[in-house]
Amino acid sequence: MLEKKRTQARERKRRQREKQRERDDVKKINAKRREEYARQKLLETEEKTKERLLKNRISQWMCREKEEPWKREERLFKDRKRHQKRRSKKSQVEVNQSITDNHDSVASKDEEFIDAEDPEKFILKN
């Protein structure tokens, strides 16, 4: 009687392990499927985005081809103006950087500024 219960328990445990293995296999397969599906969706989305951007560029180009000459001149003028602003900002940043570099080198020589507004006036520490 005791031996019969033991064998039944062993069989039950063996069946449980087999079922668990099957469940684990199904989980792995489903995970791979989900991953592949996500990868495919990402590729499709990237393709659609590229196509949309290309269509936008083409339509923009077509609109520019059709636009009237005075509108074209106006747009080009605005583009040049915007470009000049960018360039002037960059040069201003470079000037500011060179000024701060100059201040750092002057201050590093144990020189103290009298007035922060007028950095040319300074006295040497004794």
The CB-side HSE value for 111 (13 A sphere, CA atoms) comes to 16
pLDDT band at 18 (very low <50, low <70, confident <90, very high): very high
For the chain, the domains span 2-96
- Tens of pLDDT, residue by residue over 78-112, are 888 888 887 787 777 776 777 666 655 555 544 44
- Tell me the one-letter amino acid at 111: E
Res 89: pLDDT: 75
For 122, residues 6+ apart whose C-beta sits below 8 A from its C-beta are 106, 111, 112, 113, 114
Question: Is pLDDT larger for residue 73 or for residue 121?
Answer: 73
Name 121's Cβ contacts closer than 8 Å, sequence gap at least 6.
113, 114, 115
Is the pTM above the cut of 0.75? Answer: no
pLDDT score at 53: 93
Give 121's DSSP letter: -
